[in-house]
Amino acid sequence: METSASIDKISDLPDEVLCHILSFLPIKQAFSTSFLSKRWAPLFKLLTSLHFDDESVGDEENFLRFRQLVDTVTLSTQIIKTFHLKCRSKHWRDDRYNVDRWIETAKQHPVENFQLISRFNCISLPPNIFRFSTLVVLKLMSVKVVGDISADLPSLQTLQLNDVCFENKECFNKLLFGCPILRTLRTSIYYIKKEEDEGVRLSTEWFQSLSNLNTADIDIDAFDVPFRVISNVKILMLTVKNRLPEINSYYGGFPVFQNLTDLNLCFYKFNHWNDVIEVLQYCPKLQILSIFKLAVKKHLSINWKYPSSVPECIASHLISCTINYEGWKGELEFSKYILQNAQLLEMMKVNIGHSSYSRLNRDPSEELTSCPIISPKCILVVD
């Protein structure tokens, strides 16, 4: 009969193959293989991607063990290229000791992908979190960055900040200034100090346009946007909870988005179609427009006024327009305005909400199909 040693062929595989196998295991299980034999003992140290998740941690004792695991693995790993940490346990406190230490350890490695996700917004990060020379992807969720930051992210291409708190607006501006080759930006952030509380005028030193920016997804209600910094963007998603003209403008005016071809607008307190027309005036090359809105009822009877001019993008570039329809007259008027003026339009799509028919006297497709359509290629879809 063959002994277990004679049939343990997996241990004879090269280190790189065994490490590849370990990479599919949860980090705790991968670490436990180091106790199998001398052959396996050093292998977990060769892992380059570390993924830690405390979701299954129950009591304080297991939470302490989790933190010890992170300590042991991060200090033992030879090269870290990916570091993901999910802090979802209820036992987290506003105690930066471990997290700061893990960040400093990660900085000693050529980390390219760093993600830290919190659940209760109780984790505070040091202001030097934004100094990683090799970082390509940075994602933070539900954390606070305490203090005046300094940013040096020369390799960063993707920045995602979801429910992240900064000291003030200048900190966010410094961060963007420190990402010279950024390609993708997704933000929903807020500030500890309001502009009126700071008592000083924000410096324009940090308002340098991100020349490589391709995609931006911005929650405007959460913070003021330095639009000049993102004016080179090609794909833009804006979530708006106030009228655009009412937003406090520390960015020095709405710039012209010369490269923007795809715009997605999401209004949660929609007041007036003039907001949309105003934005389109600054997007001369726009080709794709999508609009989702929740209307403010008291303004609905006066929410459409035929514009005195047609924005360049509608007349010369727009090929696709999608809006959601809630049964209000202004929505039909805007749709007809697009159909009558978009010479290159290929698709006009009107999505009807479930509650719309209670406000309708007739199917909107009847009024839209009877409207003159200037583009011979246009397909009208109402569903």
The residue among 303, 289, 307, 291 whose CA lies nearest residue 345 is 289
For the stretch 368-377, pLDDT in tens is: 888 999 999 9
Q: What is the mean pLDDT of residues 105-109?
A: 92
Report pLDDT for 352: 85
Contacts of 3 (CB under 8 A, 6+ apart): none
Give the whole-angstrom CA distance, residue 67 versus residue 74: 11
Identify the weakest region by mean pLDDT among 43-57, 183-197, 346-360: 346-360
For the stretch 193-216, pLDDT in tens is: 665 544 444 555 556 789 999 999
> Is the pLDDT assigned to residue 23 strictly greater than 80?
no
DSSP β-ladder status, 184-191 and 215-219: parallel
Give the whole-angstrom CA distance, residue 150 versus residue 164: 16
Give the whole-angstrom CA distance, residue 362 versus residue 327: 10
pTM over 0.85: no
Report pLDDT for 245: 44
For the stretch 260-310, pLDDT in tens is: 999 999 988 777 788 788 889 999 999 999 999 876 654 554 467 788 889
Report pLDDT for 357: 47
Cβ pair 45, 19 in contact under 8 A: no
Report pLDDT for 321: 97
For the stretch 172-185, pLDDT in tens is: 889 999 999 999 99
Highest mean pLDDT among 24-28, 67-71, 93-97, 320-324: 320-324
How many other C-beta atoms can be found within 10 angstroms of the C-beta atom of residue 151?
A: 21
